[in-house]
Chains A and B, each alone.
Chain A
């Protein structure tokens, strides 16, 4: 079996193993889940080491005919855009069972779904066939629905169904786009779902939709523009952009800590990944037409997310809105279509993956102990939980984009890349940097500093398990802030190839 298939399906194997373990043996279930998640992490690390940074196109490729009559292939491969995400996904999915260690209700189901989710996520990042991509995309949706809906907080059912319907709406549009592309090219190519083949054909002008509609024009727009839009909306819901973001705070807040972490850390990146891979990589000409709109949406998301986050009284909700704000940078950077902007966008996906995961873990620590998340309801925790305070301070500084931490590098790249193209929008976006610092440090002050709230004089500090989940992320935040080239070096060739599409 090739390495990518191993990475994708080893969690599934572990899931099967979990099925065989009786549900009373909770520690065995947890350990199996950890083992099942460790394999992809180790393999992804090997993948990272073996990755040839000078090659722009897909590596470790595998391609097998799957449904011959439709030309659907089981086709996998990673390039500089996907390999960081594969590794990040493997890391966070490895941390997730540790973060969920304390869950006692339905451990078997939880761990099973977690592994299933991992297969879906890794599959999406590795797929080079649109049909396969779609299948993995849907595989991911269902476990998430149950993980929120069963193990979530008070309003879990509302949140789960909201998440499900929103994502499903996006999926439907994506399916429409995929089918439309298939119909356009089914007579000209034997592999009408292959992402590289489609990209090539779209860019060389072979795909117009003229064979479907007279002249290839639908309601005054070129047919492909509609296809682009369908894909864009499908991914934008996942990012999410304002105004399609309202599923996010509910889903994040209601989900258990480990799931919030995965949701913010990876699932949002799938939307960004889709935009970079499909919208930019496949339809560069149309992407250029939409770039300004994308930049506006990005800046609106940055500012809107930050302002609304500052108004939140719920710790977790605040962090959730900060994600909306941070994802705006990805869109802004991608819309700039410059070297720095694209790299910044791709890097922001990774850096936000580590810093937001950290924030959700940190919120989880407070919630586990206090059983509430009201920012004003804490106070002075630093006196009783110095280690917790220290790591939180580090996490907050990483999230607010302090230089020396990874978030700064990606934000700086985005801003440098976009200023030359959108000076006014970029100048507005920096307001977001101030506001982000304001709400994070203000929260730090209200929760951790000042006189101790007597209610929490027995508040235990973080335990070893929690430290174990936090430290790898903290190290990544600092390491990539100091030596960003570790990450950028892997992305360079591919990102240059994407940038070259835009002249």
Chain B
């Protein structure tokens, strides 16, 4: 481990490659957006060569980190690369960021770039002739920039930043056909639903920041493990909350980000609509990478989560896995089936992580990415051929499109979890973990297993329904069938590569493997729960060499220890009861899965291949249930009325209040002022001025009388003088 640390610290190549992984696609995107139209072939070669370069670099990193240095554990004290950039520093507030190379980073980076490379080439065929061809590659490159940034940073805040940037990539690409009606609506919906999850995520990380003053994974987990919580102020509204409660709150809020990003219930509604984007986009963003980022983030933050949070994750995952699968049963749009399938599979990953199957969940993330990308591209190839997404227009295409069919079938088998295919090795582990969780807990702990097992059946069923409807049977639309043709090599080749990963991604084709010897299990190890250590629980202590104990004194004093023990899968590391349960569960889980797969396949065959049972009959028998599922459990309707409708009403009400009451009051004041001014004016005119005018009038009146005397005639004056003298004489007598 320290070898790698030294290597990263001294070897700037590692650093430059890490930076290049996201800077190069960004550069390619910028070149394409500004100059794409002037470049030959719309500049697609720039995007393709940049992503291939990233893929090569990622594989090199993979080799450096995993093969050469064999860094087998993924713990919070593992490698952080030699970059220490101060993003914000102001007073005591400081945010620094670096790159983070651990096994999960390099695995994820390799997966993303390899899948993206396949999709970039496929797109050259699929989008050929589109008037916005350069813009498409510009957006794809931009997306890869954001996605790679998300993978390599060592800081939850920066993960969040890139997290939102991939959301923008998704927004732009879902709405790529901007002059149509549906895509802009779907992109708005996707962004908004994600925004809801994201602000909760933001709140969660703000709480984490408040508690630990850092969001860099190694520092964060170290401080948490050492119990270095920032003091809560006493006059605080959360004064009654202890650290554990706050930690749980922030963990759940952070998980909410993953709920929207990874299309978990109840924030999944954007994903089916997102299929309005071009099919390569669905493959890259809405199947392999971005939606899986939620799972990746949960994996990254795994040491941070308290048992309560993990239970929430497991339950949300279990419900999503089942509900998603049921919705896939009734969809007719080939891409929508795959979208529901993605949702369901992401549910499996969450479920796996939640029940303590850390390795299983992340393994499934990797294997799923390849075969689901293959399925989406395969569907794209079909859509390209028949110009329809409705499976009722297809049928019999296997003869016309042999390569597409073969690769699609391989990916389907992998998705169903048939032995020897990649999905089998990861999914089977999830089921086994779920069973172990059931064995070691109360009755509610069986939910993940039951839902997961039913989900396996449904998965096999809807996938073979899709395969039979599309590739088998008689062509439903003769005209479309006649015009269908196999896609060009630039599209077929990526399918073959991805299908190969779907077949060999498990690293073995042994039907009964020892899980510990699978390549993924041998390089990724479940991290110790920093939350358990920091809160001071004994169960977590024994596999923590050299770590400081939690700041809460002896576990017995905390009073929570007993509760924590009830989640053995979570906090007991890989010891004791949990390991036993896992061993016990291994074969029963395997057998259960096989039964479910067989049942699903036979049902699908009966209904859609041999047609010995009419699907119509079945849907009629399940009338009300069928109706509910066909209407996607009325989630959309609920949100449209309860959330958006009420929000609009509320907004309009406030706007009315603003216009009529608040501004009305302002205008009323103005009116009153004018009224008062008017009264004052009247007073001024008639009273004050009137008073003045009165005197003026009086004086004028008098003077007008007096003026009569002033005739200017000397004889008159003499007369009046005489009169005056006579009066004086009388007076002074």
Contacts and interface: CB of A to CB of B under 8 A. Distances in A.
Is chain B a partner of chain A in the same complex? yes
Interface of A: 162, 165, 243, 246-247, 304, 307-308, 310-312, 339-340, 343, 380, 382-383, 397, 402-404, 408-409, 412-413, 415-417, 419-420, 422-424, 426-427, 430-431, 433-435, 437-438, 441-442, 445, 448-452, 484-485, 488-489, 491-492, 495-496, 499
B160 A403 contact: yes
A413 B199 CA distance: 14
A419 B164 contact: no
Contacts of B181: 450-451
A486 B86 CA distance: 12
A405 B110 CA distance: 28
A310 B202 contact: no
Contacts of A489: 89-90
Given A311-B648, A383-B179, A449-B184, A437 B89 contact: no
A445 B182 CA distance: 11
Contacts of B175: 449
Interface stretch (B204-212, B438-446, B537-545, B615-623): B204-212
B366 to A, nearest CB: 26
A382 B654 contact: no
Identify the 6 closest CB pairs spanning chains A and B, nearest first. A449-B184, A311-B655, A403-B161, A311-B651, A339-B91, A246-B663
A308 B192 contact: no
Looking at chain A's contact residues, the main secondary structure is: helix
A26 B335 CA distance: 60
B199 A492 contact: no
Interface centre among A403, A416, A431, A448 (most CB of B within 10 A): A403
Contact of A492 (B87, B90, B666): B90
Contacts, number: 146
B720 to A, nearest CB: 62
B670 interface: yes
Looking at chain B's contact residues, the main secondary structure is: helix
Contact of B87 (A430, A433, A485): A485
A397 B237 contact: no
Given A409-B88, A437-B192, A441-B188, A304 B654 contact: yes
A415 B202 contact: yes
A62 B619 CA distance: 85
A404 B663 contact: no
Nearest to B663: A246
B265 to A, nearest CB: 19
Contacts of A451: 179-181
Contacts of A438: 192, 195
Given A380-B179, A437-B192, A427 B89 contact: no
A448 B670 CA distance: 39
Given A403-B164, A488-B89, A423 B180 contact: no
Contacts of B185: 445
A263 to B, nearest CB: 18
14 contacts: A247-B666, A402-B165, A403-B160, A403-B163, A416-B206, A423-B238, A430-B200, A434-B192, A437-B192, A441-B192, A449-B184, A450-B180, A451-B179, A496-B90
B192 A492 contact: no
B14 to A, nearest CB: 23
B91 A408 contact: no
Nearest to A347: B90
Given A308-B654, A433-B195, A420 B210 contact: yes
A427 B238 CA distance: 13
A402 B164 contact: yes
A499 B91 contact: yes
Contacts of B648: 310-311
B591 interface: no
Interface in B162-182: 162-165, 168, 171, 175, 178-181
Contact of B178 (A308, A311, A382, A423): A382
A51 B190 CA distance: 45
B647 to A, nearest CB: 8
A382 B179 contact: yes
Interface string B205-224: 01101100000000000000
A407 to B, nearest CB: 12
A379 to B, nearest CB: 10
B91 A496 contact: yes
B168 A243 contact: no
A425 to B, nearest CB: 9
Contacts of B662: 243, 246
A402 B142 CA distance: 15
B684 interface: no
Contacts of B199: 430-431, 433-434
A491 B178 contact: no
B410 to A, nearest CB: 38
B652 interface: yes
Contact of A485 (B89, B157, B663): B89
